[in-house]
Structure 1
Amino acid sequence: MPDGSGFPFSTDRHVHLNGRDWGLLVASLALGFGLLTALPQMAFPASLIPPLLFMGIPLLSLRLVAGQHWVALFGRVGLRQVALMVLFGALTLVVSLSVGLLLARVAPLSANPFADRMQDLSAGQLAMLLIPTIPQLIGEELLGILPFLATLWLCIGRFGLSQGWGVICGVMVSASVFGAAHLPTYDWNWAQALIGIGSARVVLTLAYVVTRSLWVSAGAHVLNDWTGFLAAFAFGHLPIGADPI
């Protein structure tokens, strides 16, 4: 059973946002993502600045519109949640590999340029490259989960759909937004971004649906990506379809 009776800010009557609040959150996501992609690459520790802005701007906006209830997005963390991080991290990796292998039969895939940098690094350089990915991946989870919750609020509160249909629509919107955000990373390969990355996003969003905890989906995301990065560091390349998301 999920850890909460409702989805925060969408179906939980104790923590609710209105249309203006959701508009501000969506705008903050766009601003954070724009800064992440527009700011120049910098050496560590300055390399932490774009990911921290990507993560921090939406969180500050959430704190502004939800007050002390902003923490409802994250949920609790215990042994069950940690186990679910591992489970959904492994499931995301399996889905990424499977879909990637299928897509590779149809058209060539573009490599993740971040993963390609791993093979020539020392252990210390690898650590300095991976540390900024932690706030970035939390930011990516905000980019996946907040649109899901916004769509859920819209479907139920404005269109009168059931929660089940709201969840389905929310997962689809989350996957589409997340996949589209990765188009520049994968040389505008639409199939790879929308189908390959989008399918992995479905698994990560379902991790949130099951647990109501962004910590779980973020933990699964980190495990999936770091597995790919460490594989590239150790072996010099990634298996087809194993590019981190």
Structure 2
Amino acid sequence: MMVHVPTMRRDRPARGDRRGLAWWLALAVCKPVLMLLRRADWRGVQRIPASGGAVLAANHVSHIDPLLVAEMVLAQRRVPRFLAKDALFGQTLVGWWFRAAGHVRVDRTAGYGAYDDAVAAALAGRLILVYPEASITRRDDGLPMPMKSGAVRIALEASVPLLPVAQWGAQSILPAYTGRLQWGRRKRVAIVVGEPIPLHDLRGLEPALAATLGRERLEHRLTTMVRQLSDEDRTSA
């Protein structure tokens, strides 16, 4: 059964969370289309901090789910800053939008410094959105693949909350690794923001060990949450 949690009212967003032209353009283009495609089932949105830095770690099932997750975050009067590979910022139109929207570069060739920009953004009060699988899942059951430690490393270095975000249903709108939107009856898209992953006991450990232990916690929690959504979808079909 779908349980829709209404969006909580929040104070006026801080300067760093003002949307700017790039986000207003994206909303103007994408929002009407999303409303034709999806029925939103958002839960736990009150766990997103009203201000200050945080890392949201989401599973990835479709090329369209960044739009759906961003829609949910924007409705909470926060602006998501996606962690994106450096090459995207060098493209003409896409690069302009990524820069104007305030997304964050990750340089995978920079070793342990790959996440320096993301840590700085989190310290500056930004909401960083990370896909720890680094790509759309290729599992037949749609559950998350093994995860990387970037989201944990950012949260540890910036001392900000790490929240798991499980989502399910976007793959019914745009199946993974295809370019064919499924029009017709609107599909239910469930997005659940979970309780923060406990990291306080990892601070002070050797960085690589802390990142590994945190990644294991995130992977277990997020996979469990996604499995619950998958089971709900199967039993309600």
- The reply to whether TM is greater than 0.5 is no
Q: Which has the higher contact order (CA 8 A, sep 6+)?
A: 1
Structure 2 length normalisation: TM-score? 0.30
Structure 1 length normalisation: TM-score? 0.30
Larger fraction in helix: 1
